[in-house]
Amino acid sequence: MGTNHMGRQSIRFPQPPVVRGFASVAGKKEREGPLGDQFTATVQDTTFGEKSWERAERRMQQMTLELALEKAGLTDADLDAAFAGDLLNQCIGSSFSLRNRGVPTLGLYGACSTMAESLLLAAMSVSGGYARTALAMTSSHFASSERQYRFPLGYGGQRTPTSQWTVTGAGAVLLGGGERGIRITAATIGSIVDRGICDANNMGAAMAPAAFATLHAHFDDLHCAPEDYDVIITGDLGRLGSEILHGLLEKDGIHADVQDCGVMIFDTRRQDVHCGGSGCGCSASVLCGPLLSRMERGELRRLLFCGTGALLSPLSTQQGESIPAVCHAAVLERS
């Protein structure tokens, strides 16, 4: 039996799936950032007309999916599989947004790496012939995340200099068969890395070693180099995590200009976000807005998308546990 497994952690897709549609939705603060006019849609009311932050996140996911389906000319009935997740307990943002839609669904938790994780699993399903059309989707909301992981907003808790601002945003990609367009040609599945960082307000430092490990494995497994890509994107290490990653790469002799969604989405000099953006919706909205749009226009030919996630929970933090992290990577190419 032939294998499409490359090296220790990577995959080449013999029948690369094609991006049929994509969409991103972002909030008010994200609209005010450098990428504000490049999302599919933005809102001024971050409650999305709902009576709780969790319901607002659910509605944001629904909007994103509907926009992606409209772009692709598809309906719920065309989806053979959905891979979706978010930051909330039991992934209620995703499960509630997809309930009663009749879409076969596999729920995921990869923290902020969920967009990359869902993308590579959807690609595996379509390339392997297990789905004709598959959805990859995730989201985060600043207020729902603060309620769960840190402080209810009414407390006015002090943010440390290393903290990041959870993005109110969502992204969705629809993959299907085809020969032309933006294709997912390869992927690297990350391993879980823990370097003993215990500060939940310093997730960039916790995730940077995982990003380094995945990039190293990707280059080794697929016998490629940074210069083979027009751009390498991580999401979301923020400013400090990006500095740590560049230091690790340079120390290993890898010279790569890696850009980070957490740095790109906000203007850290003008907006009070400390080290930048974070959350599932950070890399999801940047990928499914500015980046895929640039590929669609032909401005980018080959992109390596590396989603990073800090796999902590409120309980593990309260128990003094360190923060494990993971990074998954997907190669997107315009044919």
140-150 pLDDT, tens per residue? 999 998 888 76
- Which residues of the chain register pLDDT less than 70? 1-2, 150-157
Q: What is the pLDDT of residue 3?
A: 76
Q: Measure the CA–CA gap between 288 and 170, rounded to whole angstroms.
A: 8
Pick among 3.30.70.330, 2.60.120.920, 3.40.47.40, 3.30.70.3340: CATH of 182-334: 3.40.47.40
The model's pTM: 0.95
Q: How many CA atoms lie less than 13 Å away from 26 in the CB half-sphere?
A: 30
- What's the CATH number for 5-176? 3.40.47.40
Q: What is the pLDDT of residue 190?
A: 98
Q: What is the pLDDT of residue 160?
A: 83
Q: Measure the CA–CA gap between 86 and 10, rounded to whole angstroms.
A: 24
Q: What is the pLDDT of residue 154?
A: 59
* Domains of the chain, residue spans: 5-176, 182-334
Query: Phi/psi of residue 99, each to 5°?
Result: -65, 140
Identical fold, 5-176 and 182-334: yes
Q: Measure the CA–CA gap between 73 and 62, rounded to whole angstroms.
A: 16
